[in-house]
């Protein structure tokens, strides 16, 4: 186990696998999970010759169950410190859901030469909560419901999220993968309830509009119209318009947790983008349907 201690004394657990001189990929997990969310990607990209890094965000997984610093600025600052400590150069950063917000804020503030590309999957930018700039966002009452459920009985709440909307297992034709439900629940219960509770405000109310505008490197966004957690209409199509060099790949029927349920498809999209010489600026792409 590798542990990095931040400047404020927080221990950040991370995985760092593969040749240290290989092209680096850094993975940012979603709420309320851990680096283990990316197991399918870590093994795949190791096999493709990459160095892969994934951390447990403060308060999540095996990292310190923090009292303070459970906010997007601190999340990004932790990543900046870890990237410097590992001396990563021209790394690709991949973020899912809340991790997509973290990757976005990091990318807007990254040291020169540390970042080459960004991939955002089912990600929260620009902002999830309904507001004047995002009238199609979710009402604040939705997130109040998350808070109430976590505070009252997070074990039950997390089971219902994993078995339902996160992986789309509540859809009539869905084939439930019991191991994925249990693994989601295991990761979630490993983290600290206070940090996870406070992260609900982070993923719902953090406005990443200016961060998206500030990113200079190519960005790929993967999002599905059937995402039941981060609504498509209020996220990726808006985010890609704010980017200087963004490409949106839209799917019709994938769930929010597509990196797990459709790892083969997602991995192929990431690999093609990472290996491409560049990415032409785009406001969108033709919808794609998973086989």
Whole-number Å distance between alpha carbons of 116 and 139: 35
Inter-CA distances, 72 with 77, 129, 199, 245, Å? 8, 15, 9, 23
Q: Calculate the CA dihedral of residues 90, 273, 97, 257 and round it to 10 degrees.
A: -140
Residue 253 designated active-site: no
Residue 256 designated active-site: yes
Considering 28, 60, 223, 256, which one is annotated as catalytic?
A: 256
CB 86 within 8 A of CB 15: no
Considering 34, 97, 122, 235, which one is annotated as catalytic?
A: 97
Considering 28, 224, 227, 262, which one is annotated as catalytic?
A: 227
Question: b/e string for 93-106 if b means 16 or more Cβ within 10 A?
Answer: bbbbbbbbbbbbbb
Q: What are phi and psi of 166, to 5 degrees?
A: -60, -50
Distance of CA 283 to the CA centre of its chain: 21
Name the DSSP letter for residue 210: H
Question: b/e string for 39-68 if b means 16 or more Cβ within 10 A?
Answer: ebbbebbbebebbbbbbbbbbbbbbbbbee
Token digits of residue 289: 């349907």
Active site residues: 97, 227, 256
């Amino acid at each position: 186990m590798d542990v990095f201690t931040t400047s404020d004394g927080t221990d950040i657990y991370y995985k760092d696998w593969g040749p240290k001189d290989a092209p680096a990929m850094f993975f940012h997990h979603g709420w309320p999970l851990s680096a283990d969310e990316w197991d399918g990607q870590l093994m795949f990209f190791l096999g493709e010759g990459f160095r892969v890094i994934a951390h447990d965000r403060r308060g999540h997984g095996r990292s310190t169950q923090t009292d303070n610093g459970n906010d997007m600025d601190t999340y990004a600052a932790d990543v900046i410190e870890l990237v410097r400590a590992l001396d990563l150069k021209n790394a690709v950063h991949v973020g899912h859901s809340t991790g997509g917000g973290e990757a976005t804020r990091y990318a807007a503030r990254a040291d020169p030469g540390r970042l080459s590309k960004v991939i955002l999957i089912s990600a929260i930018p620009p902002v999830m909560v309904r507001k004047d700039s995002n009238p199609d966002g979710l009402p604040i009452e939705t997130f109040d419901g998350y808070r109430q459920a976590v505070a009252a009985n997070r074990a039950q709440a997390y089971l219902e999220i994993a078995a339902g909307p996160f992986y789309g297992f509540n859809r009539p034709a869905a084939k439930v993968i019991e191991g994925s439900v249990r693994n989601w629940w295991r990761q979630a219960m490993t983290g600290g309830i206070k940090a996870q509770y406070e992260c609900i405000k982070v993923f719902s109310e953090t406005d990443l509009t200016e961060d998206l505008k500030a990113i200079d490197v190519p960005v790929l966004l993967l999002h599905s119209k059937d995402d039941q957690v981060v609504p498509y209409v209020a996220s990726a199509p808006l985010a890609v318009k704010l980017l200087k060099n963004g490409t949106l790949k839209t799917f019709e029927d994938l769930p929010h947790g597509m990196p797990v349920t459709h790892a083969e498809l997602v991995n192929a999209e990431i690999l093609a983008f990472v290996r491409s010489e560049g990415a032409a600026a785009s406001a969108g792409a033709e919808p794609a349907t998973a086989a």
